[in-house]
Amino acid sequence: MKKALMLLSISLLAGWFSLVQAQGTTGLKVTQMIGYPVLPDTAYEGVSYSVTIKLQNFSNSTINGGVNIVLKTDSGTVAITTFAGLVLFPNDSATQLIQTYNFDSQTYKAGNNIVVVWPVVQSAPAFPIDTFFTQVYFVPLASLNAPEVEAIKFALYPNPATSKLKIVGAAEEPLEYVRILMPDGRQVTQILPFGDGIIDIRRLNPGIYFLEASSKNRSGMKRFIKVN
């Protein structure tokens, strides 16, 4: 079901949210989502999952009050649960069970989804936080009886890259466009129609990005690193 999909090294991803601390983990963070079907598992629409959220306080302040857990995908942003009446001391952690969590087509797109999860302190929205990244392969009900479409194969080099990327697809299946995405799924740029396969990345800040290449009927994704 998940041929040609790549496991992501989420430990290297930098936070995109404006409240995320630039150096290390110094705020409130979701550190685990036990039972959440990340790659290489598959998440199916219509199947209920039990998910345990672990929240840890890496700050020097005590949390006293409700904390919302927010999840963002390409398709939208939703609050998935709330730690109500939470008292969380520095370096302490808490867990909460979501007994029934359902994946739906409004939140997840068919196929590969980059997922970002972060906490929001209800009484102090500006409380420092860090983000949790993961990846989900979602199968909607409508596609369960459809034939599997394997991800397109293409080459990307050099990686890491400083100024330019070369993208090479199969001669029998030319690429029509490519997109560069941030780790949280935000689009940086899109090139359509796709030309000589050379992409100028000099304007990108150093960091980890994802490149999605698409032909007429299917697409594939690879990770690359921009360096100075």
Does domain 10-143 correspond to CATH entry 1.10.760.10?
no
| DSSP per residue, the chain | --TT-----GGGPPP-STTB-SSS--SEEEEEEET---TTSEEETT-EEEEEEEEEE-SSS-EEEEEEEEEEETTEEEEEEEEEEEEE-TT-EEEEEEEEEE--TTT--SEEEEEEEEEEETT-TTS-B--EEEEEEEE-GGGTTSPP-PPPPEEEESSSBSSEEEEEE-TTS---EEEEE-TTS-EEEEESS--SSEEE-TTSPSEEEEEEEE-SS-EEEEEEEE--
pLDDT of residue 31: 95
Per domain, the residue ranges of the chain are 10-143, 154-226
Task: Quote the mean pLDDT of the chain.
Answer: 83
Asked whether the domain spanning 154-226 has the same topology as the one spanning 10-143, the reply is yes
More confident call, 121 vs 150: 121
For residue range 57-111, list pLDDT tens digits in order: 999 999 999 999 999 998 889 999 999 999 999 999 999 999 999 999 999 998 8
What pTM was estimated for this model as a whole?
0.59
User: Is pLDDT at 22 greater than 90 in this prediction?
Assistant: no
For residue range 170-223, list pLDDT tens digits in order: 888 888 889 998 876 678 888 887 778 899 999 999 888 889 888 888 888 888
CATH architecture of 154-226: Sandwich (2.60)
